[in-house]
DNA sequence: GGTCCAGGTGTAAAGGATTACATAAAGCAC
DNA sequence: GTGCTTTATGTAATCCTTTACACCTGGACC
């Protein structure tokens, strides 16, 4: 028995059953152009009877519009991006848009291939979180004026609109919080170099340091590359410094968790011996011992905002180079040495 | 300036440039049917020169094949499903398939709407994790012989192939582990009722209990509905029992974490006063205090296996009702009262 | 009664690929 | 030279909708 992958009821069948032409059926269904009450009701009736559903492929081919946007992210397993996906999905489906999602695994070549595939599939627009590396491949698409919005990370090579957290402000507030408690030896575990997120966060730390009269080089820098293993290593490097830093500020969720594990492993007390703050909240942050103080981001908000901006570009045809900053919030739990507010 | 959402180079343009017919171009490009070396090279050259990329919509419309599978899951924010998505994506793209992913939020009506949309979009097959509730809406699709594979949860109403964890065996081993340590008062925090996962896991617990001479009713049951808030409540109920259970077995990751928080909140010591085991490992499980003993599942493996099965069904046209069990593994950390093996 | 307009409808041409079928040329055996 | 097969190619139909255009009818108006 062969599978019948595609439906067989066609617009033509509806037309025949209703005793009208295909044009009339189409006009009724799309509410586009005139149609008598008589014809309208007969068409609707026929659609019901036959359980007709339009062929999306034919419709898109003819209409040059797929109502689909592509979403290309580095790592879906990072809960930050997971929530971003969800935000995008909800905002998109609320407006009748579909989303095709892809994973680059932080591989620029894979990113290029995925974007290519999505464009071949005639997406109407693209939401992209660019991987580190040169984005020359984007040039032809830019000329074609493909609607693109970048999220989380801004791309310097091309003038594209970007929706990101207010990384500078978030890092500034976290750093200021530690400095205000009198700490002066602060160690930072940086994310992937040359990414706008890493640089903006570092700039925020530096601004706070300056306000408290520290020189830029007073901040102790290690590089964790945003991944658990390297974050763990970087945290160990911090703990090996002498004198030991009074606080560690890890630039993402994975590294903050890794840092806490490194601290536990050494049997150093947190926050008594060393304070810890992470960038980006995550589900388990409050369940850890001690509960983690973090800079909360709003990934779903970034997603919905990106959809909003993208659909605007698609509708109006005018792209701006605007940078949309989504606010962050410092969530004070116990790991920074404060007692958490009543839970 | 209007946006040009679609590319303009057509097969016809390639044909003209190469000085051959469209049929020849198509034959060369798809390696389907004969073509002289002369024609072949000229076509390939023209494709290069014009940077031609076939229109996927037209190709799919004509070919009655989209090389796309739909993936419908309850909750992408649960890391279990996140990994499952990743597994599906990798397996699919390795075989040249695309994936459209959707979220039901455990809402059966939304599930129905999403499946409808995917079918309208002419997916070649569907991977579905069914939400609790009656699946009558599936009947017409079954008649149409749409290739479907369910994952994680089996659907009883319809004879569909399913790929799930070996839930019974996993729960059996975890329970046996606790019983073997001499514990007898075991509290279970169950997931959503009427789901095959919940029932299979419960069956596993019962089998172990029976082997150790316990009656089924000796197992202390609470219902957490698989969510954090209700899991927390259920854990509190467990802690309120008197005498207090010697161990809690939470039927998913969220509820295990919630249970640990409830234990901490009461200042009860884990594992000294009460042991804890969770079903499903998650990123932070090892970072918690104490590190959580869990039944590890293999969500990515479930995903790849589902893709394999689905593509087989699409290719051969023959669907079976087979149940594919993916093994689980008990990861012993500290929360069950054992000292974790050297990390 | 003739003109104009509006509303309603149908015919046929896109949209861009694949492919059944027809045709032509070439190779080979007799 | 004839007939048959094989290879290469082109023409046109097909997939299913949307929509430009032409047409027709009937009413309003002069």
Say if strands A329-331 and B323-326 run parallel, antiparallel, or are unpaired.
unpaired
Scanning residues 49 through 88 of protein chain B, those with a beta carbon under 7 Å from any atom of strand D turn out to be 58, 61-62, 64
Distance B35 CA to D2 C1' (A): 28
Residue B205's pLDDT is 98
C24 C1' to B45 CA distance, Å:
26
Q: Low-confidence residues of chain A, pLDDT below 70? A: 1-7, 340-343
For residue B10, count other CB atoms closer than 10 A to its CB. Answer: 15
State the pTM of this model. 0.93
pLDDT of B340 strictly over 90: no
Residues A253-284 as b or e (16 or more Cβ within 10 Å = b): bbbbbbbbbbbbeeeeebbeebbbbbbbbbbb
Which nucleotide is nearest to B64 if distance is taken from CA to C1'?
D15
A4: DSSP letter = -
Are A223 and A194 a contacting pair, CB within 8 Å? no
Cα(B104)–Cα(B106) distance, integer angstroms: 5
Three-state DSSP class for residue B313: helix
Q: Is the CB of A22 under 7 A from strand D?
A: yes
What is d(CA B303, CA A102) in angstroms, rounded to the nearest whole number? 15
Residue predicted with more confidence, B184 or B343 = B184
B118 has a pLDDT exceeding 80 = yes
Of A54, A83, A116, the CB nearest to B77: A83
Q: Considering only CB atoms, which chain A residues are within 8 Å of B103?
A: 86, 89
Whether the CB-CB separation of A299 and B298 falls below 8 Å is answered with no
The separation, in Å, between residue A36 CA and nucleotide D26 C1' comes to: 14
Mean pLDDT of B158-163: 93
Q: Closest by alpha carbon to A237, among A180, A178, A295, A188? A: A188
Domain boundaries, chain A: 1-27+36-42, 66-165+299-328, 167-297+330-336
Confidence tier at B144 by pLDDT (50, 70, 90):
confident
Q: What is the pLDDT of residue A319?
A: 83
* Pairs across A and B, CB distance < 8 A: 147
Assigned token pair, A10: 């066609």
Contact check, Cβ <8 Å, B58/A54: no
Asked if residue A238 lies in contact with residue A266, where contact means CB atoms within 8 angstroms, the answer is no
User: What CA–CA distance (Å, rounded) separates A48 from A53?
Assistant: 10
Provide CB contacts within 8 A for B267, sequence distance 6+: none
C1'-nearest nucleotide to the CA of B62: D15
Yes or no, beta carbons of A77 and B79 under 8 Å apart: yes
Q: Is A94 on the interface with B (CB under 8 A)?
A: no
What are the residue ranges of helices labelled H in B241-341? 253-265, 299-316
Q: Are B288 and A289 in contact (CB under 8 A)?
A: yes
The helix-helix angle for A79-94 and B79-94 (nearest 10°) equals: 80
- Considering only alpha carbons, which residue of chain A is nearest residue B9? A120
Chain A residues within 8 A of B5 when measuring between CB atoms: 64-65, 122, 124, 146-147, 314
Q: Is the CB of A32 under 7 A from strand D?
A: yes
Instruction: Kindly state whether A203 is in contact with chain B, defined as any CB-CB distance less than 8 angstroms.
Output: no
pLDDT of residue A156: 86
Is the CB of residue A9 less than 8 Å away from at least one CB of chain B?
no
Q: What is the pLDDT of residues B229-264, one digit of tens each?
A: 999 999 999 999 999 999 999 999 999 999 999 999
Instruction: Tell me the shortest Cα–Cα distance from B212 to chain A, in angstroms.
Output: 34
Asked if A229 contacts A262 with a C-beta cutoff of 8 angstroms, the reply is no
* A106 contact B CB<8A: no
* pLDDT, position A252: 95
The answer to whether the Cβ–Cβ distance between B284 and A286 falls below 8 Å is no
Q: pLDDT at position B3, please? A: 45
∠ CA A294-A298-A300, nearest 5°, is 140
CATH number of A66-165+299-328: 3.40.50.2300
What would the DSSP string read from start to end of A31-59?
Answer: T-S---HHHHHHHHHHHHHHT----HHHH
Q: With 60 as the cut, is the pLDDT of residue B343 above it? A: no
- Name the pLDDT band for B59 (thresholds 50, 70, 90): very high
Measuring CA to CA, which residue among A53, A54, A55, A71 is closest to residue A121? A71
Whole-number distance in Å between A66 CA and C1 C1': 53
3-class SS of residue A306: helix
For chain C, which bases have at least one atom within 7 A of a protein Cβ? 7-12, 14-20
Q: Which of A100, A103, A282 is facing B86, going by the closest CB pair?
A: A103
Q: How many residues would you count in chain B?
A: 343
- Reported as a pLDDT band with limits 50, 70 and 90, residue B95 is very high
How high is the pLDDT of residue B342?
45
CATH for A167-297+330-336 is 3.40.50.2300
Candidates B168, B153, B175; CA nearest to B250 is B175
Q: What confidence score (pLDDT) does residue B158 get?
A: 87
Which residue spans within chain A are E strands per DSSP?
Answer: 68-73, 98-103, 125-128, 148-151, 162-165, 186-190, 220-223, 247-250, 275-279, 293-296, 323-326, 329-331
Q: What totals of helices (H) and strands (E) does chain B contain, helices first? A: 12, 12
pLDDT tens-digit map of B172-203: 999 999 999 999 999 999 999 999 999 999 99
For chain B positions 225-264, those within 8 Å of chain A (CB to CB) are: 254, 257, 260-261, 264
pLDDT in tens, B18-52: 999 999 999 999 998 889 999 999 999 999 999 99
The angle, 0 to 180 degrees and rounded to 10, between the axes of the packed helices B37-50 and B11-18 is: 120
Question: Is the CB of residue B240 less than 8 Å from the CB of residue B211?
Answer: no
Cross-strand partners of A103 = A73
Contacts of B317 in chain A (CB under 8 A): 1-3
Q: Which one of A1, A53, A64 has the shortest CB-CB distance to B6?
A: A64
d(CA B141, CA B135): 11
Q: Which residues of A touch B83 (CB under 8 A)?
A: 77
**Cβ pair A122:B66 closer than 8 A:** no
Nearest CB to B89; choose among A5, A103, A282: A103
- The arrangement of strands across the sheet holding B293-296 comes to B220-223, B186-190, B247-250, B275-279, B293-296, B329-331
Beta-carbon separation of B57 and A60 below 8 A: yes
Asked if residues A25 and A16 have their Cβ atoms less than 8 Å apart, the reply is no
Is B53's CB within 8 Å of A120's CB? Answer: yes
- Among A120, A284, A313, whose Cβ lies nearest the Cβ of B56? A120
Interatomic distance A10 CA / D18 C1' (Å): 14
**pLDDT computed for residue A341 by the predictor:** 56
Q: What is the dihedral of CA A177, A182, A185, A189, to 10 degrees?
A: -10
Q: Where are the beta strands (DSSP E) in A56-121?
A: 68-73, 98-103
Task: Classify the C-alpha dihedral B192-B196-B200-B206 as positive or negative.
Answer: positive
Closest CA to B304 of B84, B152, B74: B84
Longest dimension (CA), chain B: 88
A7 touches chain B (CB under 8 A): yes
* C-alpha–C-alpha distance, residues A4 and B97, integer Å: 19
* B8: confidence class by pLDDT, cuts 50, 70, 90: confident
**pLDDT at B145 > cutoff 50:** yes
**Closest residue by C-alpha to C1' distance, nucleotide C16:** B58
Q: What would the two tokens of residue B152 be?
A: 């994680």
Q: Decide: residue A193, CB within 10 A, 0-12 exposed, 13-18 middle, 19+ buried.
A: exposed
Residue A142: other Cβ atoms inside 10 A: 15
- Whether the Cβ atoms of residue B183 and residue B149 lie closer than 8 Å to each other: no
A9: nearest nucleotide, CA–C1' criterion: D16
Q: Quick check: do B66-165+299-328 and B167-297+330-336 share a fold?
A: yes
Rounded to whole angstroms, the distance from the CA of residue A157 to the C1' of nucleotide D27 is: 64
Task: Name the nt closest to B21 by C-alpha to C1'.
Answer: D10
Residue range A83-125, pLDDT digits in tens: 999 999 999 999 999 999 999 999 999 999 999 999 999 999 9
- A20-43 in b/e form (b: 16+ CB < 10 A) is beeebbbbbbeeeeebeeebbebb
Of B79, B261, B317, the CB nearest to A1: B317
Q: What mean pLDDT, rounded, does chain B reach?
A: 94
């Amino acid at each position: 028995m062969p599978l019948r992958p595609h439906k067989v009821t066609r617009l033509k069948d509806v037309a025949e059953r209703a005793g009208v032409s295909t044009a009339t059926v189409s006009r009724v269904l799309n509410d586009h152009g005139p149609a008598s009450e008589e014809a309208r009701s007969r068409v609707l009736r026929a659609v019901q009877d036959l359980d007709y559903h339009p062929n999306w492929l034919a419709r898109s081919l003819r209409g040059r519009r797929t109502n689909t946007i592509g979403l290309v992210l580095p790592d879906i397993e990072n809960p930050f991006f997971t929530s971003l996906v969800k935000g995008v999905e909800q905002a998109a489906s609320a407006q009748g848009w579909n989303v095709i999602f892809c994973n680059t695994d932080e591989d620029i070549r894979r990113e290029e291939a995925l974007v290519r595939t999505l464009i071949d599939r005639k997406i109407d627009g693209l939401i992209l979180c660019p991987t580190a590396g040169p984005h020359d491949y984007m040039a032809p698409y830019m000329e074609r004026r493909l609607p693109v919005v970048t999220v989380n990370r801004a791309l310097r090579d091309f003038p594209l609109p970007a929706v990101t957290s207010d990384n500078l402000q978030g890092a500034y507030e976290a750093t200021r919080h530690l400095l205000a408690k009198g700490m002066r030896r602060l160690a930072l575990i940086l994310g992937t170099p040359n990414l706008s997120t890493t640089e903006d966060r570092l700039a925020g730390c530096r601004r706070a340091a300056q306000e408290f009269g520290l020189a830029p080089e007073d901040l102790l820098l290690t590089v964790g590359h945003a991944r658990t293993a390297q974050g763990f290593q970087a945290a160990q490097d911090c703990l090996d410094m002498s004198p030991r830093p009074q606080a560690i500020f890890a630039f993402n969720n994975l590294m903050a968790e890794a840092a806490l594990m490194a601290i536990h492993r050494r049997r150093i007390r947190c926050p008594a011996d060393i304070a810890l703050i992470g960038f980006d909240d995550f589900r388990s942050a409050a369940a850890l011992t001690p509960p983690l103080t973090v800079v909360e981001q709003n990934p779903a908000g970034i997603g919905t905002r990106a959809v909003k901006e993208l659909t605007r570009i698609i509708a109006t045809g005018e792209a701006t180079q605007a940078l949309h900053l989504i606010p962050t919030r410092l969530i004070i739990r116990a790991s920074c040495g404060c007692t958490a507010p009543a839970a």
